[in-house]
Each structure stands twice: as C-alpha cells, then as structure tokens.
Chain A
C-alpha cells in the first residue's frame, strides 16, 4: 500500500516513495513541478530541471546523481513533456525487440536464424508496417530463452495529453 500524497508514479509505472526527501529536495522538486506545469518547450524544461538537480547534488559524483529520486522524477517529467509535445513517442514492444537484437545478437540475420523469423518480416515488423501474433512472437522468443510477460497497464486520464497522467499523485505539501 502506498500513502496517498507521498508517492510519485512514473510514466512507465514505477512508483517512487517521497517520504525520505529532505526539505531542500522537496523545495527543488516543487520548483521543477511548477516549471513543468507551465508547459515550457521540452528543451527548455530539460535544461532547467537538470541544472536544478546538478546544483542541488553538486557534491555527489554525476553517476550517483542519476540515481536520486529527484533525477528519476525529472527524467520522467522530461519524457512526458517530450511525448506530449510530439518530440518523441512512448516506447513499445518493437523498441524492446530492437534493443534485444542489438544487445544480444551480432545482426538481425543472426537473430532471425536463432528465432526462426523471416528477415523481411522482422524488418517490416520493427518498422511498424506489419503485426505479429502473440503466439508467434512468444514461440520465436522461447527459442532464444526469452518469453512474453504481461505488465500492468499505465492509466492515463487523457489520451490527448499523457503528461498530466499522474502528477496529481505527487503533491508534496500536505
């Protein structure tokens, strides 16, 4: 169970617990959220929140800074804004498939040989000009030791603007 008002639900469904944030962190998070609500251009917001977080954690090594709650929330808001302003799109299974191929196989050809999928079909699939059935994709993935899993859907209040989806859950002042 989560305590309402002390959690932040990210675009990809991750839940962040905010109770441990210090006063300074809460203040900076409130500034970042305020800036976000004003709907600035994505690039402007990206530079803004990052400078705030860099300043706040200036004593932390950069690779530790990117593990902080504020960084993760800023990153999430940045992605939401980019999607709502149509600079990017939400990731889908095709992106996951592409990454799987790139990270674990020498080429698409090697992936196709291992999974039994036709190379031309795979090309059309990742370029979104064809579809694949759940059974066929799962069968192909099982051949390389992977499988499809279900994940809980991320609720969106408005199809028009995914960015507004869960901000209400992240109010810091009670």
Chain B
C-alpha cells in the first residue's frame, strides 16, 4: 500500500466562502467506497503564487489515504477532475509516498 497525503483548503479559491457540506460529502464518499483514510483538523499553512510572488496564507484539512500502488491514479484523477468544481481550487497539494506533486485541475 502507498500513502497519499493531500490538503484541502477550508475555503473556496475564488470566493473565499466555506465549502458546502455537499462537496465534503462527495469527497468522503469517493474515498470511503475505495480505501481506508483519515482526516485531521485544519492546520495553517501557506504557498507562494509563482506569478505574483505573493504568499497566500490559508488553513487546510490534511487527508491521509492508503491505496494500492496501481490505484494512485484514481485519487490523482479525482483531485484533478473534481477538485476545481467541488472546492474551487487552482491547484492542490498532493503527495505520494513522500514525493510532493501539485495537482493542477
């Protein structure tokens, strides 16, 4: 099994609104129907916008998921294809077995 970590910011990217409960339900259902996973309370963090150099501070929910190696792409695809709609993010911090990638929806 491979450990995947990803961060879901607590607020939508463009509007700054909290996410709807429905978005979280969809994410959890997707994970629950396939793998074991765990979520932690939101933690503060930040990232630098490569275009403007501005540092954006935000809180995110850290998720840990244990998946067979051949199923890693399913999680990555979900983040890439659904994250923009569900969480309104330009990119999502995503790490596979300690190797960090940024998933760009």
Contacts and interface: CB of A to CB of B under 8 A. Distances in A.
A89 B21 contact: yes
A87 B42 contact: yes
A82 B24 contact: yes
A135 interface: no
A82 B21 contact: yes
A127 B14 contact: yes
Give the size range of B's interface with the partner: 20 to 34
Given A41-B41, A87-B42, A128-B15, A62 B33 contact: yes
DSSP class of A's interface residues: helix, strand, loop or mixed? helix
B39 A46 contact: yes
Interface string A31-46: 0000000000111101
A102 to B, nearest CB: 4
B33 A66 contact: yes
Nearest to B36: A54
A65 B21 contact: no
Contact of A47 (B15, B33, B39): B39
Contacts, number: 70
Contacts of B40: 43
Interface in B25-81: 25, 28-29, 32-36, 38-42, 61
B10 interface: yes
B23 interface: yes
Interface of B: 10, 14-15, 17-25, 28-29, 32-36, 38-42, 61, 84-85
A41 B40 CA distance: 10
Contacts of B39: 43, 46-47
A87 B8 CA distance: 12
Interface residues of A, number: 33
A71 B25 CA distance: 12
Interface in A122-166: 126-128
A47 B38 CA distance: 6
A66 B21 contact: no
Contact of B20 (A63, A91, A102): A91
Interface in A39-98: 41-44, 46-47, 50, 54, 62-63, 65-66, 71, 75, 78-79, 82-83, 86-92, 95, 98
A87 B33 contact: no
Given A42-B41, A47-B38, A47-B39, A88 B33 contact: no
B45 to A, nearest CB: 16
A127 to B, nearest CB: 4
